[in-house]
């Protein structure tokens, strides 16, 4: 007897219960149908992706309206992460289902945190900002959601301020990206840069696959850009 992926996905969802279990069931079911039988399994990457999709779905609908630009941003993220024509339908169906669910943000974030390291949580929060601002507005409900997600993921206030600086324009943007206040000395800037270069190196998310390392590379480039701009400014003011 041939058993469909939807059967196994439904069984999985029943076993784990709740919206997250249902979302996981859809993901696993479609993964099973779309690939070889032994690929329909709950490994570390699957857990990471299920929770990632659920959190992004929560953010996309938190303002009461799911904007196509927000879902397009989510799909673009996964395509950039290396998901091809065989995998994207799984992501799309799982996201569309997740958008219909009443997601428990706290438990989902805590599940994500257990299945990933701190650097992966920072990458998630960066994507959350991309989705929240995809429609050109940053609603109060989205701001609250970002702060809650950061709290549940254990993101420090300094790292949250650094991420916020990437997306919200301020005069001290580059200082904030480096975790500094305007007026910092050259020595403080170099010290902050060396630490960030280690903390945000793409190798820190290499365990998720080369696709995610490429996304982390963008953050790494932004740190380098901020360092270049701040040091140039300080050199001009000291000359």
User: Could you read off the pLDDT of 167-210 as tens digits, one per residue?
Assistant: 877 778 888 888 888 888 999 999 988 988 887 777 776 666 66
- Both 164 and 123 in one domain: the answer is no
- Both 44 and 132 in one domain: the answer is yes
The pLDDT assigned to 3 comes to 36
Residue 128 has pLDDT above 70, yes or no: yes
For the chain, the straight-line distance linking the first and the last C-alpha, in angstroms and rounded, comes to 79
The pLDDT assigned to 210 comes to 63
Decide if 116 contacts 48 (C-beta within 8 A): yes
Mean pLDDT (the chain, rounded): 80
Q: How far is CA 167 from CA 29, 52, 152, 162, in A?
A: 36, 20, 21, 9
Report which of 21, 87, 24, 11 is spatially closest to residue 50, judged by C-alpha positions: 24
- Both 93 and 167 in one domain: the answer is no
Q: At 18, is the pLDDT very low, low, confident or very high (cuts 50, 70, 90)? A: low
Q: How far is CA 159 from CA 155, 200, 202, 234, in A?
A: 6, 11, 16, 23
The pLDDT assigned to 43 comes to 60
- Residue 183: count of CB within 10 angstroms of its CB: 9
What number is the average pLDDT over the span 124-134?
91
Residue 40 has pLDDT above 80, yes or no: no
More confident residue, 38 or 233: 233
Considering 154, 188, 211, which residue would you say is the last residue of a domain?
154
Q: What is the CATH number of the domain that holds 216?
A: 1.10.287.110
HSE-CB at 150 with a 13 A cutoff on CA atoms is 21
Residue 28 has pLDDT above 80, yes or no: no
The pLDDT assigned to 205 comes to 67
More confident residue, 15 or 107: 107
Tell me the per-residue pLDDT of 85-111, one tens digit each, with 9 for 90 and over: 888 988 998 999 999 999 999 999 988
- Both 36 and 72 in one domain: the answer is yes
- Both 122 and 197 in one domain: the answer is no
Considering 94, 124, 154, which residue would you say is the last residue of a domain?
154
Give percent of the chain with pLDDT exceeding 90: 28
- Both 139 and 171 in one domain: the answer is no
Decide if 226 contacts 177 (C-beta within 8 A): yes
Cα Rg of the chain, angstroms = 19
- Both 195 and 146 in one domain: the answer is no
- Residue 131: count of CB within 10 angstroms of its CB: 26
Proportion of the chain in helix, strand, coil states, percent, rounded to 5: 75, 0, 25
Reading the block at residue 72, the tokens are 């397009």
Considering 127, 154, 181, which residue would you say is the last residue of a domain?
154
- Both 124 and 203 in one domain: the answer is no
- Both 221 and 136 in one domain: the answer is no
Which residues lie closer than 8 Å to 15 by C-beta, 6 or more apart?
A: 21
Residue 74 has pLDDT above 90, yes or no: yes
Which residues lie closer than 8 Å to 157 by C-beta, 6 or more apart?
A: none
Q: At 212, is the pLDDT very low, low, confident or very high (cuts 50, 70, 90)? A: low
- Both 28 and 105 in one domain: the answer is yes
- The count of domains in the chain is 2
Report which of 101, 99, 114 is spatially closest to residue 18, judged by C-alpha positions: 101
Q: At 136, is the pLDDT very low, low, confident or very high (cuts 50, 70, 90)? A: confident
- Both 132 and 161 in one domain: the answer is no
- Both 3 and 64 in one domain: the answer is yes
Domain of 15, in residue numbers: 1-154
């Amino acid at each position: 007897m041939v058993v469909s992926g939807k059967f196994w996905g439904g069984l999985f969802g029943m076993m784990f219960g709740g919206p997250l279990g249902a979302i996981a069931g859809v993901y696993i079911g479609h993964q099973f149908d779309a690939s070889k039988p032994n690929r329909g399994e709950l490994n570390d990457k699957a857990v990471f992706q299920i929770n990632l999709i659920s959190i992004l779905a929560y953010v996309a609908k938190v303002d009461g309206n799911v904007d196509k630009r927000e879902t397009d941003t989510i799909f673009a993220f996964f395509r950039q992460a290396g998901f091809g024509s065989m995998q994207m339908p799984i992501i799309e169906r799982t996201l569309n289902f997740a958008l219909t669910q009443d997601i428990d943000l706290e438990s989902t974030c805590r599940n994500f945190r257990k299945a990933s390291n701190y650097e992966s949580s920072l990458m998630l929060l960066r994507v959350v900002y991309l989705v929240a601002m995809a429609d050109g507005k940053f609603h109060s409900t989205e701001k609250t959601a970002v702060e809650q997600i950061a709290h549940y993921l254990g993101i420090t206030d300094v790292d949250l301020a650094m991420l916020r600086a990437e997306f919200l324009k301020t005069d001290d943007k580059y200082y904030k990206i480096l975790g500094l206040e305007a007026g910092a000395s050259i020595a403080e800037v170099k010290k902050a840069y060396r630490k960030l270069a280690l903390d945000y190196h793409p190798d820190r998310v290499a365990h998720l696959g080369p696709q995610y390392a490429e996304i982390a590379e963008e953050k790494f480039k932004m740190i380098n850009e901020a360092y270049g701009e701040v040091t140039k400014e300080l050199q001009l003011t000291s000359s």
